[in-house]
Structure formats: structure tokens, C-alpha cells
Amino acid sequence: GTLTNALQHYLDQQSDYPGQRKPGIVHRLDRDTSGVVATAKDHLSHRLLSIEFQRERIAKSYVAIVDGIVKQDEGTIDLPIGRARSGASALMSCQADALDAKSSKTNYEVIERYPRHTLVRARPRTGRLHQIRVHFATIGHPVVGDEFYGMLGALKPDREVPQPGQPLPPPMSPYIGRQALHAAEISFAHPITHEWQTFSASLPDDMERAIDLVRAMD
């Protein structure tokens, strides 16, 4: 049920020796973030693309629904991100006590404002874990439906894991069953031809429904 397994099956159908070719996942999305992902079909392309990602020569664009009304039409969130001292080891923070904090910048622009929410386009200039979610939460506009990051970057309490046979807990938001974050576009130089290329993914149905719901709020 994973992207890696699906790609492996695809490659195995093209070879007389299943398993000889491995899918090259160049980058990853946060769990429950939808959108476009870049993968490589050969080792050389994987290595060259990975180097470009490490050097931050990749342009990425995300669409998110965030809580509250973002006042500025566009701006840059320039806040270092490191590991949060509390919570799980994979959680991040912009707080002064964050561990191993590194420079992090996210450009954004407002697409549309709603009565209590804002639709934004975010372009991360660096590639920190959970960067967009942490940055917007820290400035007071958490991504709708985010499981971990709340107002001003506060970590939300852990949710109880249901026992077998028990019902799943309700979603974090009444508008969408995951964080309202979508990787809309990615651009990079082709690893072999060096031609600049852009790939995009349209908004999924659950994001479209969430936009309709927040737009219709009184």
C-alpha cells in the first residue's frame, strides 16, 4: 500500500529480473500531505536529483488552508527550525530552545481569504522537516487539520491510540480528515538534459470540499 511498493511493481513488470531495479524516491511528503512527488528510474538520475535537492536548487509550491485571516498579501517567514524538546523526536519547533536549529525560510502569498480561514500558496526556500506546518503555526496560522502543530507553534497533546475494535478518534478538523496541505508543483533541471521542468498536481477532492466549507462559513 505504499508508493515505493507500487513503483517497485511497475519496474518489475519491465524487467526479466524482478527486484534488480529499485525506485529512487528523491524526496518525501509529510504523512497525510497530498500532491506531486519526484522519483527516479535509474541510479544516476537519483543521485543527481538528490544532490540538487540537498543544494536546494529545487522550486516547490504548496497550497494550504490555514486558521485565521492572514493580513499580508505576501511575505516571508524567516524562522530557524530545530527538533522540539518535548513530544516525539520527529516533531519540530521554532522556539528558542529547539535543538540543532537551522535557518529556514518560507515565502507565501494569499490566494483567497474566507470568514475564518485563509487559502495560501507557500514556497519553501529551504527543506526542513514539517517546515510549512511549523512556520505557519508559529506565526499564529496553523494548517487546518494539523495533528501536531497548534497556535503559535505549541505542540498538541498526543491522541490516544484506539484498541482493536474501538472506533477511530474523530478527525482534527470538521472540514477535512487530514492536514489541509497539498504539494501543488515542483520544478527542477532534468538530471540528464538539464532542461528546466515543472510538474503539477491538481487539488484533490477533499481539499476542494474543505475550501467550499470554509468559504461558506458565516
- For the annotated catalytic residues, the residue numbers are 30
- Amino acid letter for position 176: I
Burial-class residue 2 by CB neighbours within 10 Å (0-12, 13-18, 19+).
Answer: exposed
Eight-state DSSP code of residue 158: P
User: How many angstroms separate the CA atoms of 94 and 79, rounded?
Assistant: 6
Question: Can you tell me which residue has the cell 474566507?
Answer: 114
User: How many angstroms separate the CA atoms of 32 and 17, rounded?
Assistant: 33
What's phi and psi for 183, nearest 5 deg?
-80, 100
3-state secondary structure of 214: helix
